[in-house]
Amino acid sequence: MVNRIQLQPSGTEFETKEGENILESALEHGVAFPYGCQNGFCGACKAKVTGGEFVYQDEYKPEPLTEDELSEGMIICCKAEAKSDLLVEVEEVKGAEAIQVHTMPTKISKIERLADDVIRLYLKQPEDEHLQFLAGQYIEILLEGDKRRAFSIANAPHNESEIELHIRLVANGFFTPHLFDDMKEKDILRIEGPLGTFFLREDSRNDLVMVAGGTGFAPIKGIVEHAIELGMKNTIYIYWGVRSEKDLYLKALAESWANEHENIKFIPVLSDPDAGWEGRSGFVHEAVYEDFYDLSGRDVYMAGPPVMVEAGKKAFMARKLPEKRLYFDSFEVAGASEGKES
């Protein structure tokens, strides 16, 4: 059975087949609206159904939605399947629809230890095929048994000869212990991408507030380096929250951005500061909350653990940040789900 989905207010229409979720069908037809994890966890793909019927797949419970959002007809598109023609209210994302998703083999060209539990992985692409991506997007590494793990691209599009990933060791994880202990240069990894709508909005003239937690610095790094390459003059505030100073695994790089570009400010925040630390301490979203009484004229990009992202959403919207100017990438740990392992 085939149903039609119309997006409002754009009027864009596409077909959806039985067994497909709404997001899956949209991407298949080159239609992009906000999404992230694709497993129903992060809530980035929420939208409002204004007409028609749907069901959730696999007995999914829409936990990312509040009671108010549920009563308003909000749904999670990556888990909702149309049972009739649907009218869906959601803002389309311009720019992502032109980027095609590819599956390709890559070769590990370098493994660099950045911290005790973080490595930087460089993947060399085939000579006849390069991944076209937007700064901040992610790829999925395809594993045995139809498993996959998602990692953000840490380099900018202008430097695309290799794909840079920052990967944190997850104890008892399916993939990262094997990567840390057994994999070596020249090993082959199959990837799919690029994915996600977390990317730099190049046409914005607003100040940019970047909020990273742990290896959430990876997509922020790609976004900042792309902004520098474009010569963007927006003031860019980079807040990087980690536990202790040793976890700021590319601190010197972030400091160099601030030293070399007067429009870039770097603010590291430690939740468990070392003795003698003279910088900011506490939770990173709280530092942003303290520094900005009014976020209404700014764009906020967040990448990191779900608890940080959820706390940041509430705090920043309390500081008058419009929801449409909030972009986030939630790094949930993959266990039974197929989410990001770093």
Please give the residue range of the domain that contains residue 21. 2-89
Q: Last residue of some domain: 142, 172, 195?
A: 195
Give buried/exposed letters for 121-154 (b at 16+ CB in 10 A, else e). bbbbbeeeeebebbbbbbbbbeeeeeebbbbbbb
Determine the pLDDT at residue 97.
67
Q: Is residue 114 part of a domain?
A: yes
The reply to whether 8 falls in a domain is yes
Shared-domain flag, residues 291 and 271: yes
Predicted TM-score (pTM) of this structure: 0.85
- Residues 284, 227 share a domain: yes
User: Does 62 share its domain with 107?
Assistant: no
The predicted pLDDT at position 49 comes to 95
Number of domains in the chain: 3
Residue that terminates a domain, selected from 61, 89, 117 = 89
Residue 160 and residue 220 share a domain:
no
Q: What is the pLDDT along the chain (342 residues), one digit of tens a residue?
A: 899 999 999 899 999 999 999 998 988 888 888 888 888 888 889 999 999 999 999 889 998 898 999 999 999 999 999 999 999 999 888 776 667 888 999 999 999 999 999 999 999 998 888 888 999 999 999 998 888 999 999 999 987 779 999 999 988 888 999 899 899 999 999 999 999 999 999 999 999 999 999 999 999 999 999 999 999 999 999 999 999 999 999 999 999 999 999 999 999 999 999 899 999 999 999 999 999 999 999 999 999 999 999 999 999 999 999 999 999 998 765 443 334 544
pLDDT at 130: 84
Q: Return the beta strands (E) in the chain as ranges.
A: 2-8, 13-17, 46-51, 54-56, 74-76, 80-82, 86-89, 102-115, 118-124, 138-142, 148-152, 162-168, 188-195, 207-213, 236-242, 264-270, 280-281, 298-304, 326-330
Domain boundary among 60, 89, 118: 89
Give me the pLDDT at residue 340, please. Answer: 55
CATH at residue 303: 3.40.50.80
CB 219 within 8 A of CB 198: yes
Q: Which neighbouring-strand residues pair with 304?
A: 330
Does the residue 19 lie in any domain?
yes
**Does residue 201 form part of some domain?**
no
